[in-house]
Structure 1
Amino acid sequence: MSIYLDIRALRAFVLTIETGSATEAARRMGRTQSAVTQQIQKLELLLDKKLFHDTRRGTELTEHGTILLSHARQILAQHDECVGALSARQGRKPVVLGVPDLYAAFLLPQILGGFRREHPDIRLELCCALSRPLLGRIREGSIDVALVTRMAGFSGGEVVGRQQLVWLTGSTSFAHQETPLPVALLPPGNIFREHAIEALDRAGRDWQIACVSDSISGLQTAVLSGMAVTVLVEDALVPGLRQVPPEAGLPPLPSVDLLLYRTPAERPSAAVDVLYDYLRSCLCPGRDPVDDRPDPTTWSDAHKGSPFH
Structure 2
Amino acid sequence: MRYDIDPALLRTFAAVVDHGGVTAAARHLALTQSAASQHLRKLEAQLGSGLFERQGRRLLLTPTGEVALGYARGILRMQDELKARLDRPPVVGTVRLGTPDLYAAHLLPKVLGDFGRAFPEVQIELHCRLSQVLLEDIGRGEIDVALVTRQPYMAGGSRVRDEQLVWISGLGHDTTQRSPLPLAMLPAGNLYRTMALDGLERAGRSWKIVCESASLGGLYAAVMSGLAVSVVARSTVTSDVVEVGPAQGLPRLPGVELILYRAPAATSDAVRCLEDYIRRKLRA
Same fold (TM over 0.5): yes
Whole-Å separation in 1 of the counterparts to 2:141 and 2:190: 22
Q: CA RMSD in A?
A: 3.1
Q: Partners of 1:177 and 1:48 in 2: how far apart?
A: 66
Measure the CA separation in 2 of the matches of 1:221 and 1:270. Answer: 40
- The residue that corresponds to 1:283 in the other structure is 282
Structure 1 residue 283 displacement after superposition: 2.1
Q: Give the Å deviation of 1:73.
A: 3.9
Q: CA deviation at 1:59?
A: 5.9
Q: Any conservation in 1 of the 2:245–2:252 contact (CA below 8 Å)?
A: no
Q: Following TM superposition, by how much is the alpha carbon of 1:280 offset from its aligned partner in structure 2, in angstroms?
A: 1.4
* Change beyond 3 A, Cα 1:118–1:187: same
1:166-204 C-alpha deviation (Å, 9 max, x unpaired): 010001111111011111111111100100110000000
2:129 aligned with 1:123, yes or no?
no
Change (3 A) 1:47 1:156: farther
| 1:239-291 CA-partner distances (Å, limit 9, x unpaired) | 220012542111110000001011210x6111111111111112226xxxxxx
SS in 1 for 2:88: helix
Cα deviation 1:3-42 (Å, max 9, x = unaligned): xxxxxxxxxxxxxx89xxxxxxxxxxxxxxxxxxxxxxxx
Larger Cα Rg: Structure 1 or Structure 2?
A: 2
- The number of equivalent residue pairs is 232
CA distance in 2 between counterparts of 1:72 and 1:222 reads 44
What 5-or-longer segments of structure 2 have no aligned partner?
7-13, 21-39, 44-50, 52-62
Match of 2:56 in 1: none
1:150-299 to 2 correspondence within 5 Å? 150-244=150-244, 246-265=246-265, 268-284=267-283
Q: 1:176 to 1:48 in 2, by over 3 A?
A: farther
- 2:58 aligns with none
User: Would the aligned equivalents of 2:186 and 2:213 in 1 still touch at CA under 8 Å?
Assistant: yes
Please report the TM-score for the alignment, with normalisation by the length of structure 1: 0.67
Identical-pair percentage = 43
Distance, in Å, in 2 between the alignment partners of 1:47 and 1:185 is: 55
- Stretches of structure 1 that go unaligned for 5 or more consecutive residues are 1-16, 19-42, 286-309
- The Cα shift of 1:152 comes to 2.6
Going from structure 1 to structure 2, the CA distance change for 1:205 and 1:83 (only over 3 Å counts) comes to: farther
Structure 1 or 2: more strand by fraction: 2
User: SS at 1:123's partner residue?
Assistant: strand
